[in-house]
């Protein structure tokens, strides 16, 4: 079959990537969606098992650090677009092992940029390199204000520094070589299939097993939460309608102090598990803070809303309830990803914090 577009998605076995791949495969039967992923601890083919037999979907296990493999695939497949999500994505791991973030997030992105430039050989009509980034590149806010697309970069963790560097390289390939690029920077995502190292799935897992809930510092750090399917919808929107060379901030218009969010999750989990009110909240334990912990992130998403007509489709109450239900109905998934190496990570990260 000949496809109207061939799209390469990197990191499509991870949390956000799996939702992006699903949306694209199901919405565009006339596109070929080609997913490459190294399948690190965070990549899981179970996340996209439902797509395996889709005729317009292909998967190959490729490390984006493997420049030859990436270049060969890009030449062979003549992709119209690259949607680049593959990354090391967890701040706490970046504090434990910063170099892994430099390798994948910086060098891996440069490999992809080189491969796109080589394969497209100056023929940039109907081509796009779409880089998925984070609001963390902008640093940390005080009690007021929002990150806009023109906020100066001020990354403060090894993770956000590596993502900021990758954003800079993507822009450099645009300005220097004319590569057609677009970048979006999104706030914190939540939803099904998120690896339980991040706040929401970690706390669901711990509540279920009646383990302590480790709240970093005073718990008053603030994040802007967006349901992952709405991020995938925004990525679809930017992929099709984003203007070349532009940046789009994506957010949920939905700020929560960690402790308020945790209290809400505890109440909802008590209801869903039939536990007495206050049961889960009794697990809340304040622990040693994350070093360099960014105080507040908040996105001004008015540009994508105004220029491209995107806005979130679910409220936070709906999204959180769907998310808790998904984890409670997919306990096998949670059990399988928390066996083995997870325990070593957990012990290293939390042992000396309590």
159 catalytically annotated = yes
Backbone angles phi, psi at 128, to 5 degrees: -155, 135
136 catalytically annotated = yes
Please state, in angstroms and rounded to a whole number, the distance separating the CA atoms of residues 133 and 154: 14
**Which phi-psi region, left, alpha or beta, contains residue 156 (left: φ > 0; alpha: ψ -120 to 50)?**
alpha
Nearer to ligand TYD, 272 or 290 (CB): 290
In this chain, which of 216, 326, 333, 342 binds ligand TYD, going by CB under 6 A? 216
Nearer to ligand TYD, 90 or 127 (CB): 90
Residue 174 lies near ligand NAD (rule: CB under 6 A): no
Beta strands in the chain (DSSP E): 5-10, 31-37, 57-61, 81-84, 128-134, 181-186, 188-190, 213-216, 222-227, 247-250, 255-257, 284-287
In this chain, which of 163, 205, 233, 296 binds ligand NAD, going by CB under 6 A? 163
Q: Rounded to 5, what percent of the chain is helix, strand, coil?
A: 45, 20, 35
Please state, in angstroms and rounded to a whole number, the distance separating the CA atoms of residues 132 and 236: 12
In this chain, which of 74, 91, 128, 165 binds ligand TYD, going by CB under 6 A? 91
SS3 state at 95 = helix
Report the partner that residue 300 touches, choosing among ligand NAD, ligand TYD, none (CB closer than 5 to 8 A by kind): none
Give the residue among 201, 199, 230, 210 at the shortest CA–CA distance from 270.
210
Nearer to ligand NAD, 104 or 305 (CB): 104
Quote the Cα angle for 60-64-67, to 5°: 105
Query: Which of 136, 149, 167, 224 is the catalytic position?
Result: 136
Residue 265 lies near ligand TYD (rule: CB under 6 A): no
135 catalytically annotated = yes
**HEC string of 189-218?**
EECCCCCCCCHHHHHHHHHHCCCCEEEECC
Kindly state the smallest distance separating residue 14's Cβ from ligand TYD, in Å.
14
Residue 223 lies near ligand TYD (rule: CB under 6 A): yes
Report the partner that residue 296 touches, choosing among ligand TYD, ligand NAD, none (CB closer than 5 to 8 A by kind): none
Residue 221 lies near ligand TYD (rule: CB under 6 A): yes
CA-to-CA separations, 63 to 15, 83, 103, 111, 196, in angstroms, rounded: 17, 15, 11, 10, 23
Judged by CB under 6 A, how many residues of this single chain contact ligand NAD? Answer: 30
Please state, in angstroms and rounded to a whole number, the distance separating the CA atoms of residues 165 and 159: 10
Report the partner that residue 216 touches, choosing among ligand NAD, ligand TYD, none (CB closer than 5 to 8 A by kind): ligand TYD
Residue 215 lies near ligand TYD (rule: CB under 6 A): yes
Residue 214 lies near ligand TYD (rule: CB under 6 A): yes
Query: Which of 159, 190, 297, 327 is the catalytic position?
Result: 159
Query: Which of 135, 167, 224, 255 is the catalytic position?
Result: 135
Give the residue among 228, 130, 242 at the shortest CA–CA distance from 179.
130
Nearer to ligand TYD, 108 or 214 (CB): 214
Residue 132 lies near ligand NAD (rule: CB under 6 A): yes
Which residues are marked as active site? 135-136, 159
Chain residues binding ligand TYD by CB under 6 A are 91, 188, 198-199, 202, 214-216, 221, 223, 258, 290
Chain residues binding ligand NAD by CB under 6 A are 10-11, 13-17, 37-40, 42-43, 63-65, 85-89, 104, 108, 132, 134, 163, 186, 188-189, 195
């Amino acid at each position: 079959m000949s496809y109207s577009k061939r799209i390469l998605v990197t990191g499509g076995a991870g949390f956000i990537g799996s939702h992006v791949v699903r949306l694209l495969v199901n919405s565009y039967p006339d596109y070929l969606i080609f997913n490459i992923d190294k399948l690190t601890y965070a990549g899981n083919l179970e996340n996209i098992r439902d797509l395996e037999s889709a005729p317009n979907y292909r998967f190959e296990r490729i490390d984006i650090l493997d420049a030859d493999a990436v270049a060969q695939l890009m030449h062979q497949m003549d992709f119209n677009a690259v949607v680049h999500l593959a990354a090391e994505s967890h701040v706490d791991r970046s504090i434990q092992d910063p170099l892994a973030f430099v390798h994948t997030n910086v060098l891996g992105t440069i490999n992809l940029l080189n491969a796109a430039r080589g394969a497209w050989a100056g023929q940039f009509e109907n081509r796009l390199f779409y880089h998925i980034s984070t609001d963390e590149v902008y640093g940390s806010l005080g009690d007021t204000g929002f990150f806009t697309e023109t906020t100066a970069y001020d990354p403060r963790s090894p993770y956000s520094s590596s993502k900021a560097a990758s954003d800079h390289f993507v822009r450099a390939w645009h300005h220097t070589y004319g590569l057609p690029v677009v970048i979006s920077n999104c706030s914190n995502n939540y939803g099904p299939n998120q690896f339980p190292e991040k706040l929401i799935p970690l706390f669901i897992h711990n509540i279920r097993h009646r383990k302590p809930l480790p709240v970093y510092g005073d718990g008053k750090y603030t994040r802007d939460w967006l349901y992952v399917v709405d991020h995938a919808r925004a990525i679809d929107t930017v992929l099709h309608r984003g203007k070349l060379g532009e940046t789009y901030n994506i957010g949920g218009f939905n700020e929560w102090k960690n402790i308020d969010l945790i209290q809400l999750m505890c109440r909802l989990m008590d209801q869903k598990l039939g536990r007495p009110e206050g049961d889960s909240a009794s697990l809340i334990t304040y622990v040693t803070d994350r070093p360099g912990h960014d105080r507040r992130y908040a996105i001004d998403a008015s540009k994508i809303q105004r220029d491209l007509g995107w806005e979130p489709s679910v409220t936070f109450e709906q999204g959180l309830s769907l998310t808790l239900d998904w984890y409670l109905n997919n306990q096998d998934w949670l059990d399988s990803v928390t066996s083995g190496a997870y325990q070593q990570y957990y012990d290293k990260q939390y042992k000396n914090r309590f």
